[in-house]
Copies of this chain bind each other. A is one copy, B any other.
Amino acid sequence: MELGLSDEDLGFRDEVRDFIKKTFTNEMRKKLSLSKNGHVEKGLHVEWQNALYKKGWIAPNWPKEHGGAGFSATQKYVFETEMAREGAPRTVPFGLSMVAPVIMEFGTDEQKEKFLPDILSTKVWWCQGYSEPGSGSDLASLQCKAEDKGDYYLVNGTKIWTTMAQYADWIFCLVRTTKTEKPQQGISFILIDMSSKGIEVRPLITLEQTPDPHHEVNQVFFEDVRVPKENLIGEENKGWTYAKYLLEFERGNAYSPGLYRAVNNLREIAKDTPTGYGRNLIDDNDFINKLNECEIQIQAMEFVELRIFSALSAGERVGPESSILKCRGTEIQQLLQELSVEAISHWSIPFIEDTFANVNEPSIGPDYALTITPNYFNGRKTTIYAGSNEIQRNIISKAVLGL
């Protein structure tokens, strides 16, 4: 048992810090702080990812042979921690963390050659076609179908909650290729060029009302879209297996560094916020207890993460325990967003549609208040998406407790 980092790892940490200092520009920081939903325009994402690519750090989770960073387990943890501490943008996961691992594991050599380099260099923007209006938590019930037409599939149906599909060049989809008794069977995993004829992307405006094109999610409609058979991943009707494989990559992020960042930000706000009774919020016992309880929860979370990381680096397999991270991470985040709204009191009320717009007049209330309410509203999604927290608890119940 040992908390400290080796000298070598400390050196690596300095390198990461140095990179962030140079690459994570003030303009980017400003833009991110103005975002109501955590996303900024495509250009900025690409710019950031290109910098990482050049440094060789774009894909910490890829194997070295495909262009991965070749980090040790500790380095991976240090890298992720430093990035989140500074609030640097995460890489867009749909290509790098989602479709790529599936292609590497189950794709043909041609597919690997065709797709992986462009993902690594962010030449191609991916989005994810899983959920449908009738299939949220229960993915297996999906309806979007791909009919076998000889050398191509004819795809009809719709996908919903497709994050940043407005920017996407490609989409990876789960589609129904066969009707079977068990709904999990008969699903295939295919890749679709977004410029194909018959695809329409419609913005879905969410609670915080980020306007097009900065909105977060879309509905994608497929009408007689022809998809060449070579875009099928692995075997037909085995899509469920690949999707499950992929889900493992969705979980297990380290939440605590970002949450520490958020709690520290809120502490700064509390220093700056008068109570109306001659003190500042930082001196208000009730508020500060909640903030400190939050920080303690984050620390508990951090040490769960460290234990998982340590088990991983010792070569142990970490399975459904990582559902704890999803649950606690998102719930603490929501708590902090709630407390932030509470902190700014009246300033939570004004509505600014486009926070990126170049307004000449100053914002209403302090600058930091601008995105707090939108973030709170938008943040409700986190306990819903990527397997709702109810589903995560079902997973733990079944897979960990054996109930």
Contact = CB atoms under 8 A, between A and B. Distances in A.
**Number of copies of this chain that the complex holds:** 2
Interface of A: 285-286, 289
3 contacts: A285-B285, A285-B286, A286-B289
A84 to B, nearest CB: 32
The 3 closest A-B pairs by CB, nearest first: A285-B285, A286-B289, A285-B286
Contacts of A286: 285, 289
A309 B98 CA distance: 59
Nearest to A289: B286
A285 B287 CA distance: 12
A343 B289 CA distance: 19
Nearest to A284: B285
Contacts of A285: 285-286
A287 to B, nearest CB: 12
A285 B284 CA distance: 11
Nearest to A285: B285
A286 B285 CA distance: 8
A289 B289 CA distance: 12
A347 B286 CA distance: 27
A324 B329 CA distance: 33
A351 B234 CA distance: 68
A279 to B, nearest CB: 14
Contacts of A289: 286
A289 B286 CA distance: 9
A259 B290 CA distance: 27
A286 B288 CA distance: 11
A285 B285 CA distance: 8
A312 B285 CA distance: 44
A286 B284 CA distance: 12
A300 B381 CA distance: 32
A226 to B, nearest CB: 45
A342 to B, nearest CB: 15
A65 B378 CA distance: 64
A99 to B, nearest CB: 39
A47 B289 CA distance: 51
A286 B293 CA distance: 13
A298 to B, nearest CB: 21
A313 B285 CA distance: 46
A396 to B, nearest CB: 20
A286 B286 CA distance: 8
A97 to B, nearest CB: 38
A303 B286 CA distance: 28
A114 to B, nearest CB: 50
A291 to B, nearest CB: 14
A402 B286 CA distance: 39
A285 B286 CA distance: 8
A289 B287 CA distance: 12
A219 to B, nearest CB: 29
A281 to B, nearest CB: 15
A289 B285 CA distance: 11
